Structures are given as structure tokens and as C-alpha cells.
A and B are shown apart, each in its own frame.
Chain A
Amino acid sequence: MDCRETRETLLPYLLGELTPEEMMEIGQHLHSCKDCSLEKNSLAAHITKIAAAFNVVPDCLDKSFARRIVAQSREQQQRKRVVRWRWATAAAAAVVCLAVVASLLLHQSGPSPTATVQIAGLLADYRQYVDKPNPAQMASANAEVVSAWLSKELGFRVHAVDLSNRGITLLGGRRCELNGAPLAFLFYEKGETRITVYQIKGARFALEKLDTKLCNGHKLHVGRFGNTTLVACQSGDRTVVVIAELETEELIPIVQKHTAQGGHASAPKLKIYPVVRRS
């Protein structure tokens, strides 16, 4: 090691940031080079002065600080609730108006045209979050913690599943809403591939543009959109949809796991709505 290299590594050397081998190499150079040794002593003296200056940085927050913060965070939460309540009231009014308009349109023009939008919406949501490192609002690999949080937030039982035995890691969950129905997002990762699982309560959900497939007594709806695969199952009071850039066969067990966790594991009574086959 020459003088230039030694001087560049003097700081990490003095701060103990080097490996034992690197420490030894620099030590040997310092032993044989008077200039570098003087430079080391000078830098060490300055480091001591800097550390001493930081030693006097005060810690003078009083004991009531934590109480003040808690009181302020409560206020913040209450304000948020009021705003949320106002928005909810406005949204409810809007939903009622839309429902009236929609029912009038339905009577005039037959089946609802919104089904395709729903699939497209889920795919758009998937694409929006797929590149984000972890879009979960409740980031946790613990399925119970995520399930509890989402169930509490959305008002229906959401089931995150531990898929670690399949090499799939749970990243967390996110709450949302789809046409007024509470919607849970669960984010998983298999290697670098994101898997998004949606659970929608009470979804009267026409899964248009999808093929149907019977698998272990479950009627599944399967669609392929470019590299992206979508597998859905309607069971009991919920619809489970899984989207990922994986093969259909890889997604089917994930859908079944989430459907089985919904309290219908033994004889799932599937509630399938009319399906339009992809031509």
C-alpha cells in the first residue's frame, strides 16, 4: 500500500471501519512511513476534538414532551376523522345519486357495462403498485398482523396467508374501495416477482373477459393480459383475485389458499355470477 492509498483510508482506519487485514496493511505502512504516521496522529487529534464537541450537545427535552406529542397526535387523528366523516357523507350522497342514475340506465339498456372496467381497474391498480418497493400501508410479513389490521380497517374478515413454504413472502396490506365495496390489497413477493391479492367483500362482480376453469371443486376465472395473469374465485361473501406475472398454475394454489382461509375450506359453496367467455 502506498502513501496515497493509506491517506485515503486513514479516516475509516481510525474509526475502526476496516477489516482486520486492511488494518494490518495500513498499520505496516504507518510503521515504516514517518509522514503518513504524522498525518495519522494529526487526523486522530482532530477526530478527538470533533467527538468531544459532540459530547456537549445537550439533551434538554422536558418530561412533559411525550405527553404533549401524544395529545397533539390525538387531536390530529380527531381532525382526520372529522374530515373523513365529511368526505364519507359527501361520498355516500354521491353514491346514492349514482345508484339512482345507474338503475335508470340499467332499465333502459340491459346488462351493466361496468364489468370490463372492474377487471381493467384491478389490472391498473396492480400496475400502479408493482414497481413500488413496498406499497403496503401495513407493512408486515406476519399474516396474522396484516389480517387483523385490514379486517379492522375494512370491517370484514380479510385473510392474509403465510406462503413462506412456497418461497413467497408477505409484504403487507393496503385498504381500498371498489365501487363502494371495501377492498383489501395483499402484496406478496416470490423472488423479485410481485403478487397482488385482492379480497373484495360482497362483490357482485361480473368477471368479464375471463375463461372459467374447474379446479378441486372451485370454479376459477382465468385471464391472461400480456405477461400478466389474473386468477379469480368468488366464494361466500367475497371475491379473491390474484394478479402476477406468473403462470396460471402458480397462481391457482394462491387463490385457493385465500379462498380456503375464508371459512369455507371444507365445502366451499361457490357463488358464481354469469361469465362471458373470452372469444
Chain B
Amino acid sequence: MTTIDDTTLVERSLTGDTEAFAALVERYQSALFRLAYAMTGNREDAEDLCQECFLHIYRVLPKYNPDYRFSTWFKRVATNLFIDQLRKPRRRETCVDCIDDVLERAIESWEPAPDPEEAACRRDEAKRILSAVNRLPTELRIPFTLRYLDDLSFKEIAEILDLPIGTVSTRIRRGTEIIRRAIEAEDI
């Protein structure tokens, strides 16, 4: 079966083809939800963010320039919206104890650890790291998350955030240092 490319789906969406827009949403919803979850730390906020983001994308779709990759444009629009939303007062606090059961289940279904003690240790560490990420300032959290969650290169992140590569590199380094100190502090 042939896959319809993003640009064609955008063009069809612009003519009012809702199936085409649904296909675009399906194509990007997982990546967007993971990004939103990593940045908010809970399912409700992540879902709200995704919903707002796709509705916003629908409104601004006519502005998409097909000379650029849709995925890059999409991530740029999404991260800009996330930045705006994350600057608003948080609806739900994120901390080690309130990382929700969705993450708990995800950790449990993760690669099985050799013994229960090791499994508990891994679970705690993942929770701690994600909580620390959620406490990063937004300007560090977004490039940091795009790097470690999506495995994007500094160049790709610079394109998405419309920042110089040097700034992206510095922000990821600063973010990594903060998280590293948080991990070390817990280890002691």
C-alpha cells in the first residue's frame, strides 16, 4: 500500500478533505503526545495540549509553505504553542509523587529488569529524571526534550525553534548539567 506524503495530505486538507486531515493527525499524534507528556508530566495536560495544538494546526494550515518539510513546520508550530501554554500557570503540579499512573504502567511494561529490586530502582530513576525535566525552565526544557525524546540533531532542533545552533547546543548542555546534578543529588 502506498503512503500519501504529508504535502499531498495538507493540500487535500486545504480543499476541505477531512479524511486527509484525520490522516495527518493520526500520523503525528503519537509523537506529539509523547512530546507533550514529557513536557507536562501528566496525561490530562498532555492531551489538552495535543488537542489545542491540532486545532491550531488546522487553523494555520494555509500558511504552510511546501518548500519546507511538513514535519519540521509541524514541530515548530507545536513547540511555539507549547511554549505559550507552558508559560501560563500550570493546571497540575508535577513532582515525583504525582507522576501519574499512565507513566507507572508504561514503566512496568518497559523492558523487564533482572530482579524486582533492579526494576524498582529503574522505575524510581525514570520518575526522578522526568520530574527534574519538568522543573527545567521552558527555554531549556524544549530543546532538551526534543534532543533526548525525539533524538533530533542540534541542527534539526535549531530549525524547529528558529534559533542558532550554538544557542541550542548551550541550552541542551545546561539542561543536561541540571539533570545530571539532580540525578547525582538523589544518588548520594
Binding site for B on A (CB under 8 A): 11-12, 15, 17, 43, 46-47, 49-61, 65-70, 72-74, 76, 134, 136-142, 145, 149, 172
Assess the B176–A47 pair: CB atoms within 8 A: yes
Q: DSSP majority for the B interface?
A: helix
Is B30's CB under 8 angstroms from A59's CB? yes
Residues of A near B63 (CB, < 8 A) are: 136-139
Q: Interface size (B, Cβ < 8 Å)?
A: 53
Specify which of B25, B33, B38, B172 is in contact with A11 (CB 8 Å cutoff): B172
Asked if B183 is an interface residue, CB under 8 A from chain A, the answer is yes
Residues of A within 8 A of B59 (CB): 76
Known: A57-B38, A139-B65. A65 touches B179 (CB 8 A): no
A59 to B47 Cα, complex, angstroms: 11
CB nearest to A153 among chain B residues: B62
Contact yes or no, B169 A12, CB < 8 A: yes
A137 to B65, CA, bound (A): 10
- 21 sampled A-B residue pairs with Cβ under 8 A: A12-B173, A43-B180, A46-B176, A46-B179, A49-B183, A50-B176, A53-B129, A56-B110, A57-B106, A58-B37, A58-B102, A58-B106, A60-B33, A69-B22, A70-B18, A72-B51, A73-B21, A73-B55, A137-B62, A139-B63, A149-B14
B147: interface (CB < 8 Å): yes
**Contact (Cβ within 8 A) B18 A74:** yes
Q: Is the Cβ of B110 less than 8 Å from the Cβ of A55?
A: yes
When the two chains form the complex, which single residue of B11, B25, B147 contacts A66, counting CB atoms closer than 8 Å?
B25
A9 to chain B, nearest CB (A): 9
